[in-house]
Amino acid sequence: MNRLSLKTENQKVTILTGNKILNKINFKNFINGNDICILSNSKIAKLYLQQLKKKLNNFKINTFLIPDGEKYKSVNILNKIHDHLIKNKFDRHLTIIALGGGVIGDLAGLAADTFLRGVNLIHIPTTLLAQVDSSIGGKTGVNHRLGKNLIGTFKHPSAIIIDINFLKTLPDKQFKSGLAEVIKYGAISNRSFLNWVNKNSNKILNQNTDSLLKIINFSIKAKIKIVELDERESGVRAYLNFGHTFGHAIESAKNYKGILHGEAISLGMILAAAISMEKTNLSLEDFNLIEETIRKIKLPTNLPKNLSKSKIIKYLQYDKKKKLGRNNFILLKSVGSCCVSNTITTKYLIDILDSFRN
Ligand SMILES: NC(=O)c1ccc[n+]([C@@H]2O[C@H](COP(=O)([O-])OP(=O)(O)OC[C@H]3O[C@@H](n4cnc5c(N)ncnc54)[C@H](O)[C@@H]3O)[C@@H](O)[C@H]2O)c1
């Protein structure tokens, strides 16, 4: 078992990673009281709830399950979680455990931050995306009918338990979607890591244990480094959005149907890297390394045929990270070195989109 830690303004978050580690965790190290509420969804509960409950048999355990899906990351479900916690008369010594992917993690984080002005939280992420990204850094949130993640807070857990054994049941498409974020960490922070992913794509896709642990530990360390420098995203944390400006616009333009987050982010990274070649002198060699790695991981490299560029441009206008009417793009000077640009015009974006048609 590997132990990492994230030092935030007010607390230390312990991050444990490994294979089949759930049964080896001493939860008493991260829990003060006796009451636990496990938050999960029906699909994940079927696979892992009994195993977790057995491990926690010294505590008083309560569970709250929600239906599976992004559409349940809502204020309505958050209210239902609050109703459940209040009806069960939990006090401030409660620990909420999030057992699931990013949807469960974001909801549980917000519930733990708002119930009685804050109770203890533990993340047990079960998707690759949640293990390398959403469980780390403290962002919580639910969607509003006018946009994604518009309601949220920052709430760090006391511990994050990252067991790659959960990934065995994860659908292949979801696994690859998480790999897009792994490629992102390489692109923004470390050329030799990105080269390694490129050369070892088969081992990674086959979920070789050592390879999985290597990419997960690298990604977490990369995220810790950035979050420790800029917890509230007033500076360098924005680099984590590499590929996300276009990616979010593509997801919105597709109405979040038929494209996973990581697939959209892969296209966003290629577009941002293409812009970087012209605007910040990214070399063709670096562009090719990013594009080839995405291709080898079997993520998309061309825009979907049925997606009009005017729709993508329309959704770029709605980007919540826009400043003074312009989109902020994270560009690369080279693999491992980022900058922020808000000088990209709509006309330029249209031209770039034209060059990425199938
Ligand atoms: N807080 C943050 O910093 C942050 C960062 C990135 C993304 N997010 C959020 O994360 C969410 C996406 O997370 P996600 O990709 O994990 O999606 P998800 O939570 O919807 O999980 C994807 C699917 O996999 C299933 N699943 C989860 N674990 C499984 C397992 N081990 N075996 C089989 N099936 C399993 C889920 O039930 C679901 O159907 C979005 O809402 C996004 O906004 C948050």
Mutate to test the pocket of ligand 1, among 134, 176, 299 (most ligand atoms within 8 A of CB): 134
Same domain, 200 and 345: yes
Q: Is 181 a catalytic residue?
A: yes
- The domain boundary, picked from 138, 169, 200, lies at 169
CB 35 within 8 A of CB 69: no
Give yes or no: residues 341 and 197 share one domain. yes
Q: Which of 48, 51, 103 most suits a substitution to test ligand 1, by most atoms within 8 Å of the C-beta?
A: 103
Give the domain range for residue 162: 2-169
**CATH, residue 94:** 3.40.50.1970
- Please give the Cα distance from 274 to 188 (Å, whole number): 15
Residues 190 and 51 in one domain: no
* Same-domain status, 104 and 68: yes
> Within 6 Å (CB) of ligand 1, which residues are found?
41, 43-44, 47, 68, 70, 73, 100-104, 106, 126-127, 129-130, 133-134, 137, 139, 149, 166, 169-170, 174, 261
- Nearest residue (by CA) to ligand 1, atom 14, is 102
pLDDT band at 345 (very low <50, low <70, confident <90, very high): confident
pLDDT tens per residue, range 268-318 = 999 999 999 999 999 999 999 999 999 999 999 998 888 888 889 888 887
Task: Report the interhelical angle of 261-279 vs 284-296 (nearest 10°).
Answer: 170
CA atoms within 13 A on the CB side of 31: 20
Q: Are residues 144 and 211 in the same domain?
A: no
H/E stretch holding 137 reads: none
Picking from 169, 189, 212, the residue at the C-terminal end of a domain is 169
Predicted pLDDT at 324 = 63
Q: Both 158 and 214 in a single domain? A: no
- Domain of 290, CATH number, reads 1.20.1090.10
Same domain as 211, residue 78: no
pLDDT at 347: 86
- How far is 340 from 333, CA to CA, in rounded Å? 10
Pocket probe for ligand 1: among 52, 65, 71, 127, the residue whose CB has the most ligand atoms within 8 Å is 127
The alpha carbon of 167 and the centre of ligand 1 are apart by a number of angstroms equal to: 12
Distance of CA 133 from the midpoint of ligand 1 (Å): 10
Report which of residues 92 and 354 the model is more confident about.
92
331 touches 282 (CB < 8 A):
yes
Taking every pair of C-alpha atoms in the chain, what is the biggest distance, in angstroms? Answer: 62
Regarding whether 193 and 315 lie in a shared domain, the answer is yes
Question: What is the chain's alpha carbon radius of gyration, rounded to the nearest angstrom?
Answer: 20
Is it the case that residue 262 has pLDDT exceeding 90? yes
- My answer on whether 108 and 44 are in the same domain is yes
Task: Read off the pLDDT of residues 150-190 as tens digits, 9 standing for 90 and up.
Answer: 899 999 999 999 999 999 999 999 999 999 999 999 999 99
Using the 3D structure, point to which of 147, 169, 191 is the last residue of a domain: 169
Q: Both 82 and 186 in a single domain?
A: no
Same-domain status, 55 and 147: yes
Nearest atom, ligand 1, residue 104 CA:
19
Q: How many structural domains comprise the chain?
A: 2
- 142 and 284 in a single domain? The answer is no
